[in-house]
Structure 1
Amino acid sequence: MTYYNYVDLNGDGSNEIFAVAVGPYTSGSGGDSGMWLIPYAGMTVSQSFTLIRTPIIVSDTTTNGAHEPILQRSGGGAETEYVRLVCSDGVYSNPADAEVVEDLAAVTGKAIISNDLTVDMQSGDYLTLADAAKAD
């Protein structure tokens, strides 16, 4: 299953797509796979990520003109913490190397993906991609 939302991460005035793919082939104990997609450039993958955990908050704070996504980092026995991805030369830091957010209550921004994935999976209340011919 894939969760996504439209957001202008790079501050160019056009929305990109931030997507998180969840499933046995895209996820592990450290998190899920994510992508920053540019839909107005032929759906180009600007960057892919590993170790993505939700919720994902896009901070109002910018570094080098790009908003800072904030997400959970956990797994491998490490304590759960929130981290800030910072963009440099059009590339965001990886969650494994990201800076820890000390005070989440001080963050302002917009939650772009905040579903409870476990509840969605257990209830079957989620969207999937399907062959249009079979969906009828």
Structure 2
Amino acid sequence: MGSLRYAYDRVDLNGDGSPEIVATVQGPYTCGTGGCNFYVFRNGLKGPTLVSRMTLFRPPLIVSEQKHHGWKDLIVNVRQDAGHGGYAVLSFDGRGYPSNPSAPPAQPLRHPLKGTALLVMKPEPDQGLPLPCAP
């Protein structure tokens, strides 16, 4: 069945001084040939709340200084087919980020953007932290 693992980081995406949580979950039921599940959580008074969920995420996550609706754009690696890929820009639309980086409204990265790389992971299967699961 394989193990379920996660990796996360904190970054202020909306400039409010409180970092959001970006996370990916890796395992046989959360990943496919195109990538794994990815999440953005916003910190709030009652704890983290889900802002966006994305499929087909492939590390690293690059957080751009470019913004839409007050939130920083995210740049992710996209696998288009076997051996071919590129990067996509995910812009906040006022409610969340696109759920699929390989389809609109995600846009192909057409020119270099400055950013910070997060969730940089090695391809080894033991990378990341074990996800605690109740028996």
2:21 corresponds in structure 1 to: 17
Residues 94-136 of structure 1 show CA distances to partners (whole Å, capped at 9, x for unaligned) of 3122111123xx32111111112x13x2xx35421347xxxxx
1:68 corresponds in structure 2 to: 73
Mapped pair 1:108 → 2:114: yes
Distance 1:24 1:52 in 2: 14
1:36 corresponds in structure 2 to: 40
Which runs of at least 4 in structure 1 moved beyond 6 Å after TM superposition?
none
Three-state SS of the structure 1 residue aligned to 2:102 is: helix
- Work out whether residues 55 and 113 of structure 1, in 8 Å CA contact, stay in contact via their aligned partners in 2: yes
1:134 corresponds in structure 2 to: none
Cα RMSD after superposing both structures: 1.9
What residue identity is the alignment partner of 1:111? A
Larger fraction in helix? 1
User: Within 5 Å, which residues of 2 pair with 1:1-136?
Assistant: 1-40=5-44, 41-77=46-82, 79-93=84-98, 94-97=100-103, 98-103=106-111, 106-116=112-122, 118-119=123-124, 121=125, 124-130=126-132
Distance 1:8 1:96 in 2: 25
What residue identity is the alignment partner of 1:18? V
What residue identity is the alignment partner of 2:109? V
TM-score (norm 2): 0.82
What residue identity is the alignment partner of 2:78? R
Tell me the matched-pair count: 125
- 1:75 offset after TM fit, Å? 4.6
Between 19-28 and 41-50, the greater mean CA deviation after superposition: 41-50
